[in-house]
Each structure stands twice: as structure tokens, then as C-alpha cells.
Amino acid sequence: MQDFKVLGTISLIFAVVTVLGCGGSDHPADVSTELPVDDASDTLEPPADSDTDIDYDTGTDADTDTDADEVCTPSCGERVCGPDPVCEQSCGQCPEGKTCNSDGQCVAEGCVPACGERKCGLDPVCGTSCGECEAHEKCNDDGQCECVPACGERKCGLDPVCGTSCGECEAHEKCNDDGQCECVPACGERKCGLDPVCGTSCGECEAHEKCNDDGQCIPNDTGIEWVRIEGGSFDMGSNDGDSDEKPVHSVTVPTFEMTKTAVTFRQYRACVSAGGCTPAHVDDGTCWVWTGSGGEQDTLPSSFQGDSQPVVCVDWDQAQAFARWAGGRLPSEAEWEYAARSGGRDWKYPWGNEDATCERAVMNDGSGYGCGRDSTWPVCSKPSGNTTDGLCDMAGNVWEWVQDWYHDSYNGAPTDGSAWESPTGSYRVDRGGSWYNYARNVRAAYRYGYSPGRRNDNLGFRVARSVR
């Protein structure tokens, strides 16, 4: 009996070794597991002298770990069939009669793409790609690649990617290099004050100057008194005068301002001191002066040069320079006559139709040149000859330069009160008569002309300015 137990134990060991040695035999049933056991023993024990140790696999988790965290995530995208390009898992199956193309789309078997002129997007027949656009482009509904503008914060100019417009600036603006609209100042001839379009500065005046409404720097104290002349319409010229006063024609003059007096020597010297004017030609031998028997180029007598007497021996350009310095301009011929007629009245003289005498004007009424003084008088010496607006010496004392070129009739003359500048001529118009003229020549409608470079002892000017 003891022999049988030993034999059974040996058989069991052999069977276990066989199974382990086969490593998962395809025929485990061929290995006998039935061993005779002793009815009196519930356990099998190896022989006491056996050198064999049996290692029983406990099947712990450590021996069966897998890379569970490395599960592949499919990336089919728009693919509906074929293998996923990442995990090679199926993205789907095509229905019968269609096959999966290289783009992962189901197309009819034997389908012929019909992209035609399409450069991008899907072929409308087979659903295959007609091409890809560049990175800065997009595919439109017609299968064409369109550039995607990259204006960003640019408001104007060309988009740097596509070359298309990022927008337009307003009429008074310009586009800078950063694609932003900048206001373009419109100072024009303004030297100071604010630009009327952008509100930026047009410049600053000197300490002794101030900025007038026209953007011109004028002295803080010129001694000039401005008189407002309300605009209106009047009949310019005279049917009782010379041929160059005809035809009489209707003119509409806008409201403007005019200096109360002719410019005086004091005022003109202030302009010279400020650098705005050149000196009057009183002592350089280029001014025509009355000698008692005629006129010749000589030095102007001191009897003409009082501070409050009208400046003379200045040419048309010098008159223009002073007008600019004072913040004005020379009046047009129409403005001058309108003002001399006390607002365009049908009067022969500034005061009406009463005869012109030395009571109202510095002239020659038979008592001698300059009412017997042979020279000019201080301005506003004859207040009874003033206009109804208060302008002095619009008749007599000195001729006054105006803006217009001289024409020998009014045919073609402006009717809006502006100066007659075209066609040009050889002479500039002078108005008002002077200290050695008779009554006919101091009429409000009387006209005369000198070359712009003329300098006389009886020729001065006054200044006007527009009203805004």
C-alpha cells in the first residue's frame, strides 16, 4: 500500500511538469490529471526525500498589467469611410455601389470628378477634393480661392495681404502709413488761429501782434477804426459822367468793413517798423510831387508828412502789403463806390447832391489846391463831407488805390461786388479825387487809373475786409 502512495505522488509531479513545460498545449485533455489517492488521505504530499519545489502562480495583477492609458483616439474628421489616419480604425462603411476614396468619402464606383474651373472644395459629382487654398485664402461657393483681408485696425489704404481697400477717408482727410485717417489742415493763407477744418493751429503771432478773424497777425494797436458797411444792391456808374462810367449796371455788394479813414503816415510807419511794409518813397526821388507849376519826381515836402495826414508816395504793391499786415485787403471798385454813395444811394457825392466845396472836401474849389494849403489835410478834417456810415474823405484829400484793373467801360464788369481782375490791364483803378482836383473829379462815380508802380503826392489808399 505504501508503494502505491509513492507511485501516485510521482505520477502527479510528472503531470504538473508536463503541463508547465507545454506552455498552453492545444490538447490539455491529453494530460491525465486523475491520480490514485489513498482513501485515507485528503492531501498529497511529496516524498520526504524529494528535491522538487513546486512554485504555484498566484496570478497577481502585476503580472497582467496592460498599457490601458495609451488607448488611441481616432481622428476621422470629415472622413466617413476608410481607416482613420491616426489609429487606422474604421471611420465607417460605404453603402453598396459606392467605394471609399482616398479622402475618406463615399463615391460611386467608377465616378469621374467634374471640378471644371473649381480650384478648391469638393467636386460636386464625386465629392472628391478639387484642391486646397493657401493659408491666407478661403474657398468660396464657386470653388475659387479668395484672399482673406487682414486689415486689422487699418481704416484706410490697402490691406497688406490681399492688396484690397481697407476703407476710404473723408474728403478732408488722408490715409497715413498706419492705415489711419488723418485730418488735412486747410489753413490756406491763414498765419494764426485755428484751422477751420481740423481745429489745429495755423501758427502763432508775435508778442506785439494779435490774430484777427481772417487768421492774419495784426498789430495789437494799429490805430485803425473799422466801419461796417451793410451790403445791398445799387446802380454803379453814371450817365452824366465820362464814358468809362458807363454803362450803368446793377451790382450786389456783400456786407464788408472799411477803414474809417485813409491810412495815415503814423499807421504806415508802424507797418514799416514791424517789417510788414517798405518805407514810403518820400525822399528817394521817385515820387511825383507838385512844384507849383507842374509835377516832377522829387522829395516830398514835410508839410505832407504829419502823423495824421494820409500816407502818399506809396505804390499799389505797398498798399497791398499794408492791407495784409492790417488783416485786410484793398477794396474792390464796386465796394468803394457803394461805400462812397453812403450805401449805394443815387447820390453824386458822399453827402448827397449838394455842390462839392471846401466845406465838405479837401479839394480845389477855386480857393486853391488843398483849399489853399497846397497839400493834404489831416484825415477827417471835413466831417460834414462824411458818408452816412461815418467814412471820412471819400471825396478829395487823396486818390485811393483799389483792387481792380482799369477798363475803359463797364462792359463785362462783375455784378457781385468783386474786383475786376480779368482780363488784366496796364493800370490799377484809383478813386475819390484829391487835394488839387475840382468838383467833377471828386464825384463818387469818377474813375481814374495809374500804373501799379506809380507814386504820387496825392495818391494813398484805405483798407477793406470781408465779414464772415
Q: Which H or E element spans position 146?
A: strand 145-147
Assign 3-state DSSP to the chain and report helix, strand, coil percentages, each to 5.
15, 20, 65
Return the closest-CA partner of residue 259 out of 378, 93, 380. Answer: 380
- Give the per-residue pLDDT at 98: 84
- Give per-residue pLDDT as tens, 19-78: 444 444 444 344 344 444 444 444 444 444 444 444 444 444 444 454 556 788 888 988
Neighbouring residues of 28: CB distance < 8 A, sequence distance ≥ 6:
19
Neighbouring residues of 4: CB distance < 8 A, sequence distance ≥ 6:
36, 38
> What whole-number distance in Å separates Cα of residue 257 and Cα of residue 228?
4
Q: 226-466, which class in CATH?
A: alpha beta
- The backbone torsions φ and ψ at residue 233, rounded to the nearest 5 degrees and listed phi first, read -110, 145
Exposure letters 162-185 (e unless 16+ CB within 10 A, then b):
beeebeebeeebebeeebebeeeb
3-state secondary structure of 439: helix
pLDDT per residue as tens, the chain (468 positions): 444 444 454 554 554 444 444 444 444 344 344 444 444 444 444 444 444 444 444 444 444 454 556 788 888 988 999 998 899 889 999 888 788 888 888 877 778 888 989 999 998 888 888 999 998 899 999 999 999 998 999 999 998 899 899 999 999 899 999 999 999 999 998 989 999 899 999 999 887 778 888 888 877 777 899 999 999 999 999 999 999 999 999 999 999 999 999 999 999 999 999 899 999 999 999 999 998 888 999 999 999 999 999 999 999 999 999 999 998 999 999 999 999 999 999 999 999 999 999 999 999 999 999 999 999 999 999 999 999 999 999 999 999 999 999 999 999 999 999 999 999 999 999 999 999 999 999 999 999 999 999 999 999 999 999 997
For 230-241, give the secondary structure using H, E and C: CCEEEEECCCCC
DSSP for 266-296, please give it. Answer: HHHHHHHHTTSSPPPSSSSS-EEEE-SSSEE
Residue extents of the structural domains in the chain: 226-466
Return the closest-CA partner of residue 212 out of 260, 187, 268, 220. Answer: 220
- Give the per-residue pLDDT at 29: 40
- Give the per-residue pLDDT at 70: 73
- Give per-residue pLDDT as tens, 172-221: 899 999 999 999 999 998 989 999 899 999 999 887 778 888 888 877 77
> What whole-number distance in Å separates Cα of residue 311 and Cα of residue 288?
14
Contact between 399 and 460 (Cβ < 8 Å): yes
DSSP for 321-347, please give it. Answer: HHHHHTT-BPPPHHHHHHHHTTTT-S-
Task: Label the pairing between strands 295-298 and 287-290.
Answer: antiparallel
Contact between 331 and 465 (Cβ < 8 Å): no
- Give the per-residue pLDDT at 69: 60
Q: Is 196 exposed, middle or buried (0-12, 13-18, 19+ CB in 10 A)?
A: middle
Contact between 256 and 464 (Cβ < 8 Å): yes
> What whole-number distance in Å separates Cα of residue 81 and Cα of residue 228?
93
Taking the CA atoms of residue 341, residue 346, residue 352 and residue 355 in that order, the dihedral angle to the nearest 10 degrees is 110
> What whole-number distance in Å separates Cα of residue 334 and Cα of residue 413?
10
